[in-house]
């Protein structure tokens, strides 16, 4: 199961990611929780204590340079668009209460889109996690879908948009629905957070443009308190855990009907076409591709 969790800043993406990581682990799964939000706070929500000693991958300059073949901190050199990253989850992930996690960190964005070694590295890691790992991967993301290129999107089982009972976060859900549809994500759904009763729940369900609603997490002091005390959400908040259990059940048991705009998991995988035979022309084209992938990025 590969889950991407998105939504506006502050809506509760990290709270939900950490609670779901706990529930999946509780059901005997190996879980890899990924903080892919530059405004990183997943480690704390999982109960990790040494937050000062945590170095995000984007700040591991030597590693990024080594893997991408770039000069540390340089934006004007040749570098690889296809760095080796498949070993990194096993060597770099930290563990807290049986849940493994990685903090990807942020990339300073230049004008006109960023093509720098750090962003190439992070995108490669996300792609590897979604397409090649066999554990449960939970991606705690930022509001945009930048990490979800087309290849990654088709590998994600569900994109969960967290919403509060307010127009701004619901508008984000509608935008994500549109972007996610273009990216052919299998299932786009909503979790309502910080609800204070049935009218909040109705408000969210009625304003998400037909997206499937997986459940609601009530507004709870115990969640804020976990943040204040620096302990895991799942240790301090029985309300969050109970609500996340409901979300987990609904995720694994989608209803037979499909609300408009939401996609159920594909019943049959699209068969991978057999590789074409390696003719001299194809070998030449592959060599050319390998060559141009070491392009010089625009300053
Ligand atoms: N259901 C809830 N009830 C009360 N406070 C919540 C709830 N969910 C999240 N919070 C609080 O809101 C703040 C933002 O939550 P967080 O999960 O970090 O959001 P995000 O990752 O989307 O930025 C945190 O202080 C958190 O404790
Ligand atoms: Mg967060």
Averaged pLDDT, groups of 10, the chain, 299 residues long: 93 97 97 93 95 92 89 66 92 96 82 72 91 94 72 85 93 85 86 98 94 96 96 96 97 75 51 60 68 54
pTM for this structure? Answer: 0.85
* Whether the CB of 230 sits within 6 Å of ligand 1: no
What's the confidence (pLDDT) of residue 103?
Answer: 96
**Candidate of 9, 15, 160 to mutate for ligand 1, largest count of ligand atoms within 8 Å of Cβ:** 15
CA atoms within 13 A on the CB side of 148: 29
Nearest ligand for residue 227 CA:
1
Which residue range forms the structural domain that includes residue 185?
2-266+274-292
Of ligand 1's listed atoms, the one at least distance from the Cα of 194 is: 1
Spatial contact of 47 and 96, defined as CB atoms under 8 Å apart: yes
Residue 245 CB-density burial (10 A; 0-12 exposed, 13-18 middle, 19+ buried): middle
Tell me if 92 is assigned to some domain: yes
Q: Please identify which residue in the block is written with the tokens 């048991």.
A: 253
- Nearest ligand 1 atom, CA 162: 22
The whole-number pLDDT of residue 276 equals 61
CA distance 214 to 286: 44
Q: Supply the CATH number for residue 150's domain.
A: 3.40.50.300
Ligand 1: centre distance to CA 10 (Å): 6
Report if residue 148 sits inside a domain. Answer: yes
Query: Dihedral, CA atoms, 98, 14, 29, 231, nearest 10 degrees?
Result: 30
pLDDT of residue 12: 97
Q: Give distance in angstroms: CA of 142 to centre of ligand 1.
A: 14
| Domain annotation covers residue 298 | no
Would you state the pLDDT for residue 206? 95
Q: Determine whether the shortest distance from the Cβ of 223 to ligand 1 is under 6 A.
A: yes
Does the beta carbon of 12 lie inside 6 Å of ligand 1?
A: yes
Residue 297, in any domain of the structure: no
Counting ligand 1 atoms within 8 A of each CB, the residue from 38, 42, 224 with the most, and so the one to mutate, is 224
Say if residues 223 and 243 touch (Cβ distance below 8 Å): no
Ligand nearest to the CA of 222: 1
With respect to residue 299, please indicate whether it lies within any of the assigned structural domains: no
Residue 255 resides in a domain: yes
pLDDT at 229: 95
* 242 Cβ closer than 6 Å to some ligand 1 atom: no
- Domain count for the chain, please give it: 1
Residue 171 lies in a domain: yes
List the residue whose alpha carbon is closest to atom 16 of ligand 1: 12
């Amino acid at each position: 199961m590969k889950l991407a969790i998105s939504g506006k800043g502050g809506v509760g993406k990290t709270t939900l990611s950490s609670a779901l990581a706990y529930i999946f682990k509780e059901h005997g799964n190996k879980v890899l929780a990924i903080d892919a939000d530059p405004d990183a706070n997943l480690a704390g929500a999982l109960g990790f204590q040494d937050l000062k000693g945590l170095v995000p991958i984007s700040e591991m300059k030597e590693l990024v340079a080594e893997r991408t073949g770039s000069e540390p901190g340089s934006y004007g050199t040749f570098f690889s668009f296809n760095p080796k990253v498949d070993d990194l989850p096993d060597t770099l992930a930290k563990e807290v209460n049986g849940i493994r996690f990685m903090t990807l960190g942020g990339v300073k964005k230049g004008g006109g889109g960023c093509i720098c070694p750090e962003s190439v590295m992070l995108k490669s890691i996300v792609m590897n996690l979604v397409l090649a790992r066999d554990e449960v991967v939970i991606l705690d993301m930022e509001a945009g879908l930048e990490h979800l290129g087309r290849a990654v999107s088709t590998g994600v089982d569900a994109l969960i948009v967290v919403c509060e009972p307010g127009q701004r976060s619901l508008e984000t859900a509608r935008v994500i629905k549109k972007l996610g549809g273009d990216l052919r994500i299998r299932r786009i759904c909503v979790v309502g957070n910080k609800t204070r009763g049935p009218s909040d729940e109705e408000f969210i369900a009625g304003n998400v443009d037909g997206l499937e609603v997986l459940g609601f997490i009530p507004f709870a002091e115990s969640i804020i308190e976990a943040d204040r005390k620096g302990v895991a959400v799942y240790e301090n908040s029985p309300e969050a855990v109970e609500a996340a259990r409901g979300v987990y059940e609904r995720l694994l048991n989608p209803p037979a009907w499909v609300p408009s705009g939401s996609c159920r998991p594909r019943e049959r995988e699209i068969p991978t076409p057999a590789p074409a035979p390696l003719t001299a022309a194809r070998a030449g084209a592959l060599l050319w591709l390998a060559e141009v992938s070491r392009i010089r990025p625009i300053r």
